[in-house]
Amino acid sequence: MNTDNTVSLGRLFEELQSTQASIQDLRTKNRSIHQQLRSLTKNVSNFSSPALSKNENDLDRHRDANVKEDYKLEIESLLLM
């Protein structure tokens, strides 16, 4: 094996180590994002349950008495975005 091959193999080894470190960082970030998404999904689910309920009395307490708009449709459209 000549010195060019040795340098080449050393460089490949460094690249492999760098790639492994990058993969580990990405996995850590992926776990963090996954946990945030689970938490957000849980929060949206908790919010959407009363917002999408058929019980109009639940929505009445969130309506402005002076406004004639139906907030149920507005909330549903926002949740579907």
Averaged pLDDT, 33-61:
72
pLDDT higher at 13 or 42: 13
pTM: 0.46
Integer Cα distance of 8 and 12 in angstroms: 6
pLDDT band, residue 41 (cuts 50/70/90)? confident
- pLDDT, residue 16, reads 95
pLDDT, residue 9, reads 87
pLDDT band, residue 8 (cuts 50/70/90): confident
